[in-house]
Each structure stands twice: as C-alpha cells, then as structure tokens.
Amino acid sequence: MTDRGKIDSLRLPVNGPGSSFSELLEARKPDLLPERDVKGHVEVPEGTTVLALRYAEGVVVAGDRRATEGFQIAHRSIEKVFAADDMSAVAIAGAAGPAVEMVRLFQTELEHYEKVEGERLTLEGKANKLSQMIRANLPAAMQGLVVVPLFAGFDENREYGRIFKYDVTGGRYEEDDYHATGSGGKDARGSLKKRFHPDLTRDEAIKCAIEALFDAADEDVGTGGPDLMRGIFPTVAAISSEGLVEVPEDEIRALFEEVISERGGEVRGPESHPVDVRRPGEEG
C-alpha cells in the first residue's frame, strides 16, 4: 500500500506530478508523450510561414495555410495559429505532425495547471514551459522533425504584448517588435521591417501581418497566398488585455482584396515587358 497512485488514480501520492500535465503523463501514460527517440530520417509535411508583431494594446499572430512535403502541397488549409489559452497563442513552423502534437500537449498543460492551481501561469512561465518542450524534441529534430514555434501573448502583470521565438534546442529569445519564422520567414520579416512602427493600432497591425504574408507568398514557394478560388485565407489572431480574438475571415478577405487592388497598379504584366519577346502566334 505504499504507492497508492497505482492503486487508485484519484488519490494523490504526495510526491506526485503536482500541477504539471506532462509530468502526469510521464508517470501514468508515458506512451502518450511525443516520441523522442527517433532513428533515421523521415520526410513529413512542413508548415511554412508564421509571424507575430506587437501593437499598442497587444500582439497579432498570423500564419499562412499551406503545408508542403518536398515540392508537393501536403495540405491547403492547415491551421498554424493556435490559442494556447485565453491570453496567448502559438504559431507553428516546421514538421507539422510533431508541432501540432506539441501544441495540443502545451494547451492541455496550461489548462491543467490553471484548473489545479486556480490561477493561470504567467506569460514568462508559459514561454519557459514551451522552451522545455522544444528541448525535449531535440533528438527528433536531429532526425529532421524540427519544430520551432513562435509564442506570443498578453502579459497580464506587465500589461503589454510579448513575443518569443525559439531555436531547435529550446533556446528562448524575446523579440521587441516583430518576428517571422518558417520558409517564408525571411521575406515576411523584410516586409514587416518596412511597415512596423511601435504605435500601430490593432487594424494597422493586422494589415501589416497580411501584407507580410502576401510578400512571403510572393517570394517563397512554400508559403500559401490567399486562395480566392477556394476561399482559403491565412489565419490571424489578436491578443490584448481583453483576451485572444480570432480575426474573422471576412475581415481578412477584405484586407487581401485591399492589398491586391492597392498593388495591382504597380505590377507590370507580360505585355509591358521591356524586352521584345515574340510569341509564336504573333509571328508573321
């Protein structure tokens, strides 16, 4: 009768897993934890571009909808921006399967802690927890299953939005203004760099995010632009002291249409190409 936890799962051993859900799984159902000991190299669908930027009242997180597998499109409407809880979001880039699993564990971890302790973890605490989870994924990352999320949320103690980026070892770096990651991350960052300023309003920040994703999709084959034919648009969430709100699809669609009409005039089509190119049909 020394280990009561084994006899009856509703009774708590004093030295049990406390308020951490992943420690609980480790103790009771380790098979449910993500596989860490991966051998060999595997090809899986990859999520591409996600970004986050701060605005006056909080932070905006956005991501395109494409998953690729080599040069193939693996999925056209994958979700990459997830609410971690009411006050924060994770945006995933890299191996989609392990990333989505990591997000699910992270979400459960935060909710479990909140319910057991009666209060939410601080934003700092959440960011550190995610960092540990990425570090635990390092052996899998060495075999090609790299997961590098962006984490952003509203810090209720400091009363402003914060953005954290990670490296594959779980290294955690806070960004002051904006960050983008994934295959189109560099292009999105370039776009954000030109448009970002610290006093953006919510609407301006969302427009900034949309333009950055548009620019990334323009330059990077892995990043999906707005799919007008199927009605698939990137996902955007805004987090302020009021909590996380997903930006409605209509608003995102309208903003893309705005970007297209604004830029349409600047784009030169093939007709106006300066080089004299003759098409077969025009001959003679």
Partner 1 sequence: MPMPYYVSPEQLMRDKADYARKGIARGKSVIALEYSDGILFMAENTSATLHKISEIYDRIAFAGVGKFNEFEQLRIGGIRLVDMKGYAYSREDVTAKSLANAYSQTLGNIFTSEVKPYECEILVGAVGEETASNELFHILYDGSVSDRTGWVAMGGASDQLNEYLENHYTKDYPKSVPDLKASVAMGHDALKTVEERDLTAEGLEVAILDRARARRKFRRLPAADLTKLL
CB of 80 to partner 1, least distance (A): 20
At its nearest, how many Å lie between partner 1 and the CB of residue 23?
A: 11
Counting residues that bind partner 1 (by CB under 8 A) gives 19
Whether the Cβ atoms of residue 25 and residue 108 lie closer than 8 Å to each other? no
Instruction: Output Rg (C-alpha) for the chain, integer angstroms.
Output: 22
Beta bridge mates, 73? 68
Structure tokens at 120: 């939410």
Q: Binder to partner 1 among 6, 36, 76, 104 (CB under 8 A)?
A: 104
Q: Out of 29, 197, 278, 279, point to the residue binding partner 1 (CB under 8 A).
A: 29
Asked if 66 and 55 touch (Cβ cutoff 8 Å), the reply is: no
Task: Please identify, using beta-carbon distances, which residue of 116 and 168 lies nearer to partner 1.
Answer: 116
Per CB under 8 A, the segment of 52-60, 74-82, 115-123, 234-242 that binds partner 1 is 115-123
**Does the annotation mark 201 as catalytic?**
no
Minimum gap (Å) between residue 176 Cβ and partner 1: 32
Pick 28 or 193: Cβ nearer partner 1: 28
| Residue placing its CB nearer to partner 1 in the complex, 25 or 50 | 25
Q: For partner 1, which is the closer residue by CB, 89 or 232? A: 89
Should residue 197 be labelled a site residue for partner 1 when binding is judged by CB under 8 A?
A: no
Q: Which is nearer to partner 1, 10 or 229 (CB)?
A: 10
Residue 112 within binding range of partner 1, rule CB under 8 A: yes
Least CB distance from residue 103 to partner 1, whole Å? 12
241 is a site residue for partner 1 (CB under 8 A): no
* Cα–Cα distance for residue pair 64/235, rounded to 1 Å: 7
Enumerate binding residues for partner 1 (CB under 8 A): 8-12, 21, 24-25, 28-29, 32, 104-105, 108, 111-112, 115-116, 118
Catalytic residues: 48
